[in-house]
C-alpha cells in the first residue's frame, strides 16, 4: 500500500497490513475483546468479517476469549487471533496461554499497548505487558509506534509473518504487543481492502529428529494428549498393543487396549515389554509412569509441540517421529492383537449395560409381551450414573460430531470403560484445569462448522464445578452444542485422595470438595439456552437426541 492509499492513522495502517498478511497465509478466526487502544484492530476485524475474509467472535471476558481461541485453534489447526486492549485485560489471557503452551496449540495474542515511554509513569490502564506470559509465550514482539504510514505497513506485515511462523513452528502461543498512539483509528482505504484474498495456511518447515523402532514382541505404543492418528498407525505397523487415552485422537482400531490400567500391571505383559513409544503427553493414569520407569525399558517420546514433553526418566529419548523397521503383521497375532482381544473380553465382562431383547420384542404371547414391556420400562427408569452418562454420550456421538471432556473424574471413567471409536475427542489436559471449559468447547464447535464438513453436534461433558467456574461463557454458546453437567455437588474427584482419611470431615468438605448450590436451570434461562434435567436412562437418552440448538443437560448424581 502506498502513501496515497494509506489511512490517516498509523495504528490502522499497521493493523490492516498485519491482518491482511495473516489472512493471506491461512488464518481464518479472530476473537475480539472490547477496548479503546485496540480499536483499529477491532474495527478492521468487523470490516473484514463483513467481507467474508475472517470469522469474527466478539467476547466481553478476556479469559473466555482466550479459551474460545484455544478451542478454535485445537479443532482447525490454524492459530486463532485474540485481540485485547491494554491493562488487566492482557493478564486475563494468561490461563488460556499456559494451557495452550502445555498442550502445544498455536495462538496469536495481540495486545494493544500504550507507548513504552508511559509504562513507568503511572498512566491509566497501563502496565507491563511484555513478559507477562513468561515462558508460555513462544516469542514476544514489542513493537514501537510507527512514525510513517510506510513503516506501519511494512512493520505490520513483517511481524504478522514472523509471529505466524513461530506459532506454527513452535506449536504454541506468540505474543504481539503493538504500541499505538493517537489517532487510534481511521477509515481503511477501500482500494486496499478489495485486494485482500484468503490463502492457504503457511507451510513451515521444522527440523525433525527420528528414532528407529524395530517391529518385535515387547514394543508398546502409548498415545497421550495430541497424539492423533499417527499413534494408531504406528501400533499397526509395529504389531504392538496400543494404550490410547480417550482424548488422544488414537482411541480406536484393532490394537486398542482399553483395559490398559490392569494390563499394564500384569507381570505376564510387563515382563515382556522392552520398548515403549509414547506419542504426545499421557495425563490420565499413573500406570503409564510405572511402565515407563521400569528398569531396562527403552522409552521413546514423540513430542507433538507440548511445552514440556513427557520425560518420566532422564534416559528417555525425545524425538519428532519414529521410523518402523520390519513388519508387524506376524507379531500382531501373538502380541498386539492378542492383548487387545484380552482387553475387549475383560471390558465386555464388566459392561452392565442392558442388551437389546430382540426375541422378547417379537413374542406373540400376551404375558410374555407384558413381561418384556415391564423390563424395558425398568431399564428406562434406571437412575443416571457417571458410567451411564459416558456410555450413552459415546453411543450418541458420530465421526462428524465432536466430544469434549472437562477435567474431572468423568474423563477418567470414559478412558477406562469406553471402547474404540474414531471420533474427535478434546480435553484441556495441558494443565487439566477446570477453567475455560465451556469457552473451549464453543471454540471447537464453531471451528467444526465448516461448509465442506457434515453438520454435527458438539457434546461437552463436565462436572458441576467446571460448569459453575466458566458459567459466564454460556453467553458465547450458539449452534448445535450440548453441555452435559454431571452434578455431584462438588469436586468428588478429591474423595480418592489419601488426605480424606486424615482430614477433618467438615474442613475436607468445605475446602476440598467445595460443594456448590448453582441453579443450572436458572443459569441456562439467563443465557437463553434450553434446559433438561435428567434423572433416568430414558430421560438422558431422550435429551441426547435434542441437537437442533444449544441445550444444557443437568444430570444429578449421588456420587462421582
Residue 358 has pLDDT above 70, yes or no: no
Q: What is the pLDDT of residue 363?
A: 63
Measured over all CA atoms, what is the biggest interatomic distance in the chain, rounded to whole angstroms? 90
Q: What is the pLDDT of residue 2?
A: 43
Q: What is the CA angle 171-175-176, rounded to 5?
A: 125
Cα distance between residue 385 and residue 391, in whole Å: 10
Q: What is the pLDDT of residue 378?
A: 86
Distances (CA, A) of 476 to 28, 138, 511: 18, 28, 30
As a whole number, mean pLDDT of residues 73-86 equals 97
- Tell me which long-range contacts 74-78 makes (C-beta under 8 A, separation of at least 24): 74/103, 74/105, 74/426, 74/440, 74/443, 74/444, 74/447, 75/402, 75/424, 75/426, 75/443, 75/444, 75/447, 75/448, 76/28, 76/29, 76/447, 77/201, 78/26, 78/27, 78/28, 78/29, 78/106, 78/201
- C-beta separation of 112 from 180 below 8 A: yes
Residue 506 has pLDDT above 70, yes or no: yes
- C-beta separation of 398 from 434 below 8 A: no
Cα distance between residue 220 and residue 172, in whole Å: 28
Q: Which grid cell sits at 189?
A: 482505504
Report phi then psi at 345, rounded to 5: -65, -40
Residue 257 has pLDDT above 80, yes or no: yes
Ranges of CATH 3.40.50.970 domains, the chain: 3-193, 381-556
Q: What is the pLDDT of residue 433?
A: 93
Q: Which CATH number fits domain 210-350: 3.40.50.1220, 3.90.420.10, 3.40.640.10, 3.90.1150.10?
A: 3.40.50.1220
Q: What is the pLDDT of residue 366?
A: 64
Q: How does residue 369 score in pLDDT terms, banded at 50, 70 and 90?
A: low
- C-beta separation of 524 from 552 below 8 A: yes
In the block, cell 509414547 appears at: 278
Mean pLDDT lowest for which of 138-152, 380-394, 395-409, 488-502? 488-502
As a whole number, mean pLDDT of residues 267-284 equals 97
Per-residue pLDDT reduced to its tens digit, 223-237: 999 999 999 999 999
Which residues make beta-bridge pairs with 108?
81, 174
Per CATH, is 381-556 categorized as 3.20.20.190? no
Most confident of 155-164, 345-354, 358-367: 155-164
Between these two residues, 453 and 532, which has the higher pLDDT value?
A: 532
As a whole number, mean pLDDT of residues 478-482 equals 96
Average pLDDT, the chain: 93
Residue 37 has pLDDT above 90, yes or no: yes
* Fold designation for 3-193: Rossmann fold (3.40.50)
Q: What is the pLDDT of residue 1?
A: 44
Most confident of 193-197, 448-452, 453-457, 555-559: 193-197
Cα distance between residue 210 and residue 136, in whole Å: 26
As a whole number, mean pLDDT of residues 431-450 equals 95
Q: Which grid cell sits at 9?
A: 492513522
Cα distance between residue 74 and residue 252, in whole Å: 20
Distances (CA, A) of 131 to 115, 137, 178: 16, 8, 14
Q: How does residue 357 score in pLDDT terms, banded at 50, 70 and 90?
A: low
Nearest-10 Cα torsion for 48, 52, 55, 57? 60
Cα distance between residue 382 and residue 555, in whole Å: 13
Q: What is the pLDDT of residue 125?
A: 80
Q: What is the pLDDT of residue 360?
A: 60
Residue 347 has pLDDT above 50, yes or no: yes
Between these two residues, 324 and 490, which has the higher pLDDT value?
A: 324
Cα distance between residue 331 and residue 338, in whole Å: 10
Between these two residues, 419 and 368, which has the higher pLDDT value?
A: 419
Q: Are strands 219-223 and 275-279 parallel, antiparallel or unpaired?
A: parallel
As a whole number, mean pLDDT of residues 467-479 equals 96
Residue 487 has pLDDT above 60, yes or no: yes
Cα distance between residue 380 and residue 385, in whole Å: 13
Cα distance between residue 266 and residue 458, in whole Å: 37
Residue 494 has pLDDT above 60, yes or no: yes
Per-residue pLDDT reduced to its tens digit, 125-175: 888 999 999 999 999 999 999 999 999 999 999 999 999 999 999 999 999
Residue 349 has pLDDT above 80, yes or no: no
Amino acid at each position: 500500500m502506498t502513501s496515497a492509499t494509506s489511512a490517516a492513522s498509523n495504528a490502522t495502517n499497521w493493523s490492516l497490513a498485519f491482518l491482511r498478511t495473516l489472512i493471506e497465509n491461512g488464518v481464518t478466526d479472530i476473537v475480539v475483546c472490547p477496548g479503546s487502544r485496540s480499536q483499529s484492530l477491532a474495527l478492521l476485524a468487523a470490516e473484514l468479517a463483513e467481507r467474508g475474509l475472517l470469522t469474527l467472535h466478539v467476547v466481553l471476558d478476556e479469559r473466555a476469549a482466550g479459551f474460545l481461541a484455544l478451542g478454535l485453534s485445537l479443532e482447525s489447526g490454524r492459530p486463532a487471533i485474540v485481540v485485547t486492549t491494554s491493562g488487566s485485560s492482557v493478564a486475563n489471557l494468561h490461563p488460556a496461554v499456559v494451557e495452550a503452551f502445555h498442550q502445544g496449540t498455536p495462538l496469536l495474542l495481540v495486545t494493544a499497548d500504550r507507548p513504552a515511554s508511559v509504562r513507568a509513569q503511572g498512566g491509566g490502564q497501563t502496565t507491563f505487558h511484555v513478559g507477562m506470559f513468561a515462558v508460555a509465550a513462544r516469542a514476544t514482539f514489542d513493537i514501537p509506534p510507527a512514525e510513517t504510514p510506510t513503516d506501519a505497513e511494512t512493520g505490520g506485515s513483517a511481524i504478522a509473518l514472523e509471529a505466524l511462523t513461530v506459532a506454527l513452528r513452535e506449536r504454541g502461543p506468540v505474543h504481539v504487543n503493538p504500541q499505538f498512539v493517537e489517532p487510534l483509528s481511521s477509515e481503511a482505504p477501500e482500494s486496499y481492502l478489495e485486494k485482500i484474498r484468503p490463502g492457504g495456511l503457511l507451510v513451515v518447515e521444522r527440523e525433525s529428529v527420528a528414532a528407529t523402532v524395530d517391529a518385535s514382541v515387547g514394543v508398546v505404543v502409548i498415545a497421550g494428549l495430541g497424539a492423533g492418528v499417527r499413534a494408531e498407525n504406528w501400533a499397526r505397523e509395529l504389531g504392538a498393543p496400543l494404550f490410547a487415552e480417550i482424548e488422544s485422537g488414537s482411541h480406536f482400531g484393532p490394537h486398542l487396549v482399553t483395559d490398559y490400567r490392569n494390563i499394564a500391571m500384569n507381570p505376564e505383559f510387563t515382563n515382556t515389554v522392552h520398548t515403549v513409544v509414547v506419542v504426545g503427553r499421557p495425563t490420565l493414569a499413573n500406570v503409564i509412569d510405572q511402565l515407563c520407569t521400569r528398569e531396562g525399558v527403552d522409552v521413546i517420546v514423540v513430542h507433538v509441540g507440548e511445552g514440556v514433553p513427557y520425560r518420566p526418566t532422564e534416559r528417555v529419548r525425545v524425538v519428532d517421529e519414529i521410523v518402523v523397521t520390519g513388519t508387524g503383521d506376524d507379531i500382531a497375532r501373538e502380541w498386539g492383537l492378542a492383548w487387545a482381544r484380552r482387553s475387549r473380553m475383560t471390558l465386555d465382562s464388566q459392561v452392565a449395560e442392558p442388551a437389546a431383547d430382540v426375541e422378547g420384542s417379537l413374542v406373540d404371547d400376551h404375558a410374555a409381551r407384558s413381561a418384556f414391556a415391564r423390563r424395558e420400562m425398568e431399564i428406562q427408569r434406571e437412575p443416571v450414573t457417571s458410567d451411564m452418562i459416558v456410555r450413552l454420550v459415546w453411543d450418541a456421538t458420530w465421526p462428524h460430531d465432536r466430544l469434549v471432556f472437562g477435567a474431572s473424574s468423568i474423563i477418567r471413567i470414559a478412558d477406562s470403560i469406553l471402547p474404540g471409536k474414531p471420533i474427535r475427542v478434546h480435553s484441556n489436559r495441558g494443565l487439566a484445569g477446570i477453567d475455560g471449559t465451556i469457552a473451549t468447547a464453543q471454540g471447537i464447535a464453531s471451528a467444526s462448522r465448516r461448509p465442506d464438513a457434515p453438520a454435527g453436534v458438539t457434546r461437552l461433558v463436565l462436572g458441576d464445578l467446571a460448569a459453575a467456574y466458566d458459567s459466564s461463557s454460556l453467553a458465547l454458546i450458539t449452534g448445535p452444542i450440548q453441555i452435559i453437567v454431571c452434578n455431584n455437588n462438588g469436586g468428588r474427584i478429591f474423595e480418592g485422595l489419601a488426605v480424606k482419611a486424615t482430614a477433618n470431615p467438615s474442613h475436607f468438605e468445605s475446602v476440598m470438595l467445595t460443594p456448590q448450590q448453582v441453579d443450572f436451570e436458572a443459569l441456562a434461562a439467563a443465557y437463553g439456552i434450553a434446559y433438561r434435567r435428567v434423572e433416568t436412562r430414558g430421560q438422558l437418552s431422550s435429551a441426547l437426541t435434542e441437537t437442533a440448538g444449544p441445550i444444557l443437560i443437568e444430570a444429578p448424581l449421588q456420587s462421582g
